[in-house]
């Protein structure tokens, strides 16, 4: 977390606060409206969007990321466009073309699987519908399978670029990796871990999925990427355009970018704080985002929800600025 000398007063954060509620096209992570807190800082706009189930010690990383964006100078990017994958929620197969239409030119799709209440047959049907349109498919189980279930899924889903977080624990990922040939990507096992490098020490992953906000900002992400020793995929945490710009910046600063990044989820929103930027040939531009004042007003969360975010910022602040 940031040393106190680099922290703005909490009162300054709250003076710069905008809380918005972004309607979504489909249910994702169990929600249909995405709330985020935005700060108009001296260095740019920052976003604090930790999901409601995260307690202050964990959510504080997201606040640190917002402070970094709003108050500190950003690193210089090495590229100006980033390849992004399409993101397909756990929708019925007949809805897949509608979802993929929001990702023009994407050559890779990430498909959500292992959704509560659904079966492996549902996952197979969704993946096959995606594969009929997009040549390269990866799937994300969010830790929803046991080792045995992941082995069965790897056999049933056909050729995959990788399985993202198929099982919940590092030990399960390591056991699974010994039993299948499909590459394994670790997400929660890195961003939620006290030791993000343990997945490599235990031989549990081939690829690291990293997200700016849960890791505390662009600089901490780049530090982990430089030291982790396996290829990195930068992904989003269902960010608004403000948060997404930080993910794109992080990806633009990496020396190598062997995989398409999961930074195209802006297409999941009906409305955002700026006009949506669709990928061109599967690529998104790198650059800062300045929200439209009219959209900030139109999308403002109700007063009770704004107060909820104010209380949350106050709860998280001591874990960032001690």
Query: What is the 8-class DSSP label of residue 265?
Result: G
Residue 28's nearest CA partner among 137, 110, 120 is 110
- Name the one residue in this structure whose structure tokens are 């799709």: 109
Angle at 230 between CA 227 and CA 231, to 5 degrees: 110
Catalytic residue, from 110, 136, 192, 211: name it. Answer: 211
Task: Confirm or deny that 98 is annotated as ligand binding.
Answer: no
Task: Confirm or deny that 68 is annotated as ligand binding.
Answer: no
Residue 186: strand pairing partners: 208
Active site residue 192: no
User: What are the structure tokens assigned to 267, written together?
Assistant: 């297409």
**DSSP 3-state assignment of 80?**
coil
Active site residue 112: yes
Q: Taking the CA atoms of 149, 150, 153 and 154 in sequence, report the sign of the dihedral they define.
A: negative
Catalytic residue, from 110, 112, 136, 192: name it. Answer: 112
Q: How far is CA 171 from the centre of its chain?
A: 23
Whether residue 208 contacts residue 183, with contact meaning beta carbons closer than 8 Å, is answered with: no
Task: Confirm or deny that 122 is annotated as ligand binding.
Answer: no
- The pair phi, psi for residue 103, each rounded to 5°, is -130, 65
Q: How far apart are CA 149 and CA 167, in angstroms?
A: 9
Task: Extract the annotated binding site for Mg(2+).
Answer: 140, 164, 187
Which are the catalytic amino acids? 112, 211
């Amino acid at each position: 977390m940031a040393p106190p000398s680099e922290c703005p007063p909490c009162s300054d954060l709250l003076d710069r606060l905008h809380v918005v509620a972004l309607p979504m096209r489909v249910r994702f992570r169990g929600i249909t409206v995405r709330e985020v807190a935005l700060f108009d800082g001296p260095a740019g706009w920052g976003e604090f969007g930790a999901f409601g189930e995260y307690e202050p010690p964990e959510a504080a990383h997201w606040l640190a990321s917002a402070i970094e964006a709003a108050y500190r100078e950003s690193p210089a990017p090495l590229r100006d466009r980033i390849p992004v994958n399409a993101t397909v929620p756990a929708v019925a197969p007949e809805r897949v073309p509608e979802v993929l239409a929001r990702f023009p030119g994407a050559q890779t799709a990430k498909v959500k699987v292992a959704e509560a209440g659904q079966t492996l047959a549902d996952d197979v049907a969704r993946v096959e519908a995606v594969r009929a349109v997009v040549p390269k498919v990866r799937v994300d189980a969010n830790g929803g399978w046991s080792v045995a279930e992941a082995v069965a899924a790897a056999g049933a889903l056909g050729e995959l670029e990788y399985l993202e977080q198929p099982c919940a624990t590092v030990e399960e990922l390591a056991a699974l990796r010994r039993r299948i040939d499909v590459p394994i990507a670790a997400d929660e096992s890195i961003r939620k871990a006290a030791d993000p490098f343990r997945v490599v020490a235990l031989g549990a992953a081939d690829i690291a999925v990293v997200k700016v906000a849960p890791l505390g900002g662009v600089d901490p992400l780049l530090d982990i990427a430089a030291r982790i020793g396996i290829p990195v995929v930068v992904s989003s945490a269902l960010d608004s355009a403000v948060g997404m710009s930080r993910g794109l910046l992080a990806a633009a600063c990496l020396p190598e970018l062997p995989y398409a990044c999961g930074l195209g989820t802006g297409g999941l929103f009906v409305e955002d704080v700026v006009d949506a930027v669709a990928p061109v040939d599967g690529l998104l531009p790198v650059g800062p985002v300045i929200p439209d004042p009219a959209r900030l007003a139109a999308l403002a969360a109700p007063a009770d929800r704004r107060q909820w975010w104010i209380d949350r910022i106050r709860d998280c602040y001591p874990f960032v600025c001690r």
